[in-house]
Structure 1
Amino acid sequence: MEDPRASNDPTIRRVRHEMMRRELTVSAVERITPAMVRVTLSGASLASFASASPDDHLKVFVPGADGEPVGRDYTPRHFDTEAGALVIDFVDHDAGPAAAWARTARAGDTVLVGGPRGSAVIEGDAIARWLLIGDETALPAIGRRIEEFGPGTPVTSLVAVAGPAEEQTFATAARLTARWLHRDPGAAADPAPYLAALETMEIAHDTFVWVAAEAEVARAIRRHILERGHRKTWMKASGYWAAGRADGAVKNLEDAA
């Protein structure tokens, strides 16, 4: 017999955007935590910028090891089309050309940004609460989503970072419960801390679960939640990076076991 809840399942609406590359100017650089650099970009071409979902991706093109441009995926943390401003948060880590660029960026520098190509908008009147799970790379999307929730929306975040200094605060009207997991950055590809924390948490059937972390970590979290009986239509899981692979994102783990 068909589950009667299925008719109330959330949907993901795909929105396409005009693909554009914009040359933008750095207007401000701020280190918001020891390992997170916030870069504000400006330019008149941002008047047509569109991002309909907090977990959208754009490409930031920076010099690679050989000096040739390489593109890396980042989240539009905040944007203001009227002001012509776009904010991107960069995790400062030893490997990666985009992190190296952000670490030395100064006001007046220019950078090429492409996209977003599209948005995946999660919709559903039956969603009563949210659970957002991720690591440092997911924090820009998690933070933006938390800040964009309507007043009183129940939301729990479960985020792994290197320590208390990497925790962030968010200005939000939502009813937020923030849980932080502290682990060494070298253990970022280990799902164990998340799984242990999830064992202590109830996940109501009307909770939409959003997951983004290292690909195998996100896959393990997704499997754990499905094994608890949560419907896969009430979850979106992505691998924002893959251990040992440059630019190894797995945007959608929907078909994963």
Structure 2
Amino acid sequence: MSDLASPPLRRIQRIRHELHRRDLEVTRVERLSPHFVAITLHGDSLANFRSDSFDDHVKVFFDDTPGEPARRDYTPRSFNVQRLELTLEFALHGSGAASDWARQAAVGQRLVVAGPRGSMVIPVDYDWHLLIGDATALPAVHRRLEELPPEARVIALLQVDDAADRRLFPEQMQVQWVETTAELQAAVAALTLPEGEGFAWAAGEASAMAAVRPLLVAKGLTKEALKVAAYWKAGAEAFHETLEA
């Protein structure tokens, strides 16, 4: 076992999509755990919807102030092209335009969704896959696991405050659950990367991810074998960016 990753051999594919704004109807609301709800949306405008990567995000619009809808980024958890159904998962922590709407969401309500604007398609045949994130990353992590072949080697370091929100993942997956940002960073620092060519993906709160990225770079991961995204930022609204070196 070694902390040094092999040089990246595979090319990440970036795909641009034509941007569409869709007015959709809620058709199903499912409570997944104490702080997560899955909401399924339907509409004929989804006929040309594309989401080619677990890392995609759509822009969701919530009525906040008249004429000034709040906008938030969410991972397309799943899409059924036959039924024209898009499912998004919402974390119900704290108060905000998105979580407040999700708590009261009911069948028949409307929601406007735009995007994805593009996809970053990460090959599934790496020797290993490292997934790191807080609760906001769980929908993307779960989708990635469904995309990967059963024999894929997956290591996950996941931060969830409430143990009741921890998800069941395949037994062959190496998963470590932690409760705090400090514990997540310590777990990343202590991790020994497997041999072979791998890819590391991480997403969560901005300052936490800014601390995680150099820990991964120090293990020999290059920018071609690494993506770290800030899904949110403490004290800020509608924050989403990819962190670079």
Q: Which residue number in structure 1 is paired with residue 145 of structure 2?
A: 146
Distance 2:146 2:243 in 1: 25
Match among 188, 203, 208 for residue 193 of structure 2: 203
Structure 1 residue 13: Cα displacement: 1.4
Q: Which amino acid aligns with 2:179?
A: H
Tell me the TM-score normalised to structure 2 length: 0.91
Alpha-carbon distance, 1:90 to partner: 0.5
The Cα of 1:21 is off from its aligned counterpart by: 0.8
CA distance in 1: counterparts of 2:218 and 2:142, whole angstroms = 28
TM alignment of 1:17-166, pairs within 5 A: 17-65=17-65, 68-123=68-123, 127-166=126-165
Alpha-carbon distance in structure 1 between the residues aligned to 2:96 and 2:230: 17
Structure 1 residue 66, shift from structure 2 partner: 5.3
Which gives a bigger RCO, structure 1 or 2 (Cα 8 Å, sep 6+)? 2
Contact 2:232 2:239 in 1 (8 A): yes
8 A contact 2:189–2:215 mirrored in 1: no
Gaps of 5+ in 2: 1-5
Unaligned runs of 5+ in 1: 184-189
Q: How many residues align?
A: 239
Aligned to 2:173: 176
> Residue by residue, what CA displacement relative to the aligned partner does 1:136-161 show, whole Å, maximum 9, x if unpaired?
11111111001111121111111100
Q: Secondary structure at the match of 2:173?
A: strand
Matched letter for residue 243 of structure 1: A
Aligned residues: CA RMSD: 1.8
TM-score by length of 1: 0.87
Conserved 8 A contact 1:10-1:124: no
DSSP-derived class of the 1:64 partner: strand
Is the CA contact 1:27–1:41 (under 8 Å) kept in the aligned structure 2? yes
Change (3 A) 1:199 1:214: same
SS of residue matched to 2:15: strand
Superposition deviation, residue 67 in structure 1: 6.7
